[in-house]
Each structure stands twice: as C-alpha cells, then as structure tokens.
Amino acid sequence: MLTSLIATRHNRMKTFTNQRPLSFSLLAVLITATIGAVPPRLHADPSAVRYVQGAYHGFLELLSPDGEVVAYGDSTQVVHGDRVTSQTTFTFKDGSTDEETTVFSQHHTFQLISDHHVQKGPFFPHPMAVFVDARSGQFITRTTGKDGKEEVKSSHVKLPPDLANGMVPLVIENMGAAESSKTVSMVLATPSPVVAKLVISKIGEDDYSLAGFTRKAIHYEIKIQLGGIAGVVAPLIGKAPPNIEIWAVTGEAPTFVREQGPIYPDGPVMTIQLASPTWPDASKSGN
C-alpha cells in the first residue's frame, strides 16, 4: 500500500528484494462518511529528502486476517532526473487488482506530482479509481453503481504542499532520528474530496525474525484526523477512520517492512509484507 529489508536509500540501484509499498492502499479510500470537512489546523511541512530514491523492483504479499495469502504484489520504481515514478500492483486469487501509480519529485523535499489508484474486481465491494493531480488540484473519481454504470466526478481542491498520497512509507523512512512524530496531509476519496491530516507517531520497537535471527523494527501508528465538523461527527456515526500500523527499519538505510490496516472502507485488517521467491526442489526437478 507499499518494501525492502536490505535496500540502500542512496543513489544505488535497488535489487529484487527492495520493496516499499508506496501505493499505500491502506490509506487511499478509508473515509466513507458523506459529510463535508475543512482541513484540520495541524502544522505540516513537506518531508525533507534525507535518502534519495533510486530504481528497484520488489515483491510483496497481501495477507487476510487469518494469515492466508490472498494476493501477490509487484512494487517498482524508476527515476528520471529528480522525478520518481513508483507503482505497486496486487493481483488477487479471484482476479481482482489493486494498482497505484505515484509520481513525485525529490528536490530538497518530496513533492507529490500525481497519484492514480485503481481497485477493481470481485474482492472489492465498491470498485473505484481515484486520480489526484497535486499541481493543478484536480481530483477525479470513477465508481461503478449497482446498475453497472460508471460514474465520473471531477473537482478542483486547494491542496497543501505536504500532500502524501502514495508516499506515506517514504515519509516514514525519511523521518529524522530525533523525530517522534510527523504530520502530513492526504486527500481522501469521499463523495466530495476531503483533505485530512495523518499524524505519524513512533510507539516503540517490536521484534521480528530474519532467517531465524531476531531483529528489531520501529513500530509507527498513523491516526487520520479529519478536523472541522467532520472530525467531530465521524466518530459519532461510526465512520471514524481506523489507525494504520507500520513497521520500519531505521539506520543509515531505513526501509519499510510491514503495514496493517483495511484496504477498502469498512474492510478487515489486512497485512502487506515482503515476499520471497520460492524455487522448485532441485532433486525433484531433475537438475
């Protein structure tokens, strides 16, 4: 939504194990309340470029709440000058797809240029496509009604410079060592676009295992704050967005390692994590 365990976050070429779900599908369409909102008055600045992004191709898996793999993912990133294009695609066992393409610049700060997120197929109760042009403020949604007809809505929104659609794991990787929290903006796909604030907080360290060895990752919690009237009403009508959990490895080459949360409104908590290729047993393959 989306990761690498051994990526170098400088100008080096990434290997196939380098994976980060920049699509961040867990955050793109979580708000379903049909109420208006005004941007919360929280201080937020564009994220400083501490680790310049390079090219990579990585593999991911999407797990259901009971641990079953329901989709596999490819996460790619290419760089042209200071412009980066990141794409994450999940292909589900039932043929559904979840794809997000994010374009951003990395000149001193990370600046979103555009984000295009498409969810389609039977896995999603309400398939939809969302496009954000951060520079012009254009916001387009495409949804399919019960009658099978496509509905397109287009509007223009005043967007803040710290907009982080498709970039939240990148923001976390580039947080300073002394930063215990960070606030960025995100435009959410409601019937009318809403600019919310994402409050990212470090909440501690958790152990994970790598090849049988115990290592530690920083655990982050992301709270979505609607602000204004929406922020007051949403919890009362049961539409308050859930928190998102993210784990990252810090150090000279910080990297995203895990993410948990729903991938569509009112959906179950899913897990996005690294996937390693498996190979046929050489003794059985005849090699």
pLDDT of residue 45: 74
Q: What pLDDT digit, counting tens, does each position of 157-214 carry?
A: 999 999 999 999 999 999 988 899 999 999 987 767 889 999 999 999 999 998 899 9
Domain of residue 61 covers: 25-277
Domain assignment of residue 210, yes or no:
yes
Residue owning tokens 């954000």: 132
The answer to whether 71 and 62 have CB atoms below 8 angstroms apart is: yes
Domain assignment of residue 66, yes or no:
yes
The answer to whether 88 and 22 have CB atoms below 8 angstroms apart is: yes
Q: For residue 33, give both structure tokens.
A: 């309340």
Q: How many angstroms separate the CA atoms of 6 and 10, rounded? A: 12
Helix (H, G, I), strand (E, B) or coil at 135: coil
Domain assignment of residue 150, yes or no:
yes
Helix (H, G, I), strand (E, B) or coil at 110: strand
Domain assignment of residue 7, yes or no:
no
Domain assignment of residue 124, yes or no:
yes
Domain assignment of residue 52, yes or no:
yes
pLDDT of residue 150: 86
**229-237 mean pLDDT:** 42
Q: For residue 54, give both structure tokens.
A: 């390079």
Domain assignment of residue 12, yes or no:
no
Domain assignment of residue 260, yes or no:
yes
Residue owning tokens 């997000």: 100
Residue owning tokens 């809505």: 153
Q: How many angstroms separate the CA atoms of 163 and 85, rounded? A: 16
Residue with the bigger pLDDT between 49 and 274: it is 49
C-alpha count within 13 angstroms, C-beta hemisphere, residue 108: 2
The answer to whether 164 and 171 have CB atoms below 8 angstroms apart is: yes
- Total domains, the chain: 1
Q: What pLDDT digit, counting tens, does each position of 46-81 carry?
A: 899 999 999 999 899 999 999 999 999 999 999 999
**126-138 mean pLDDT:** 95
* Phi and psi, residue 245, nearest 5°: -110, 135
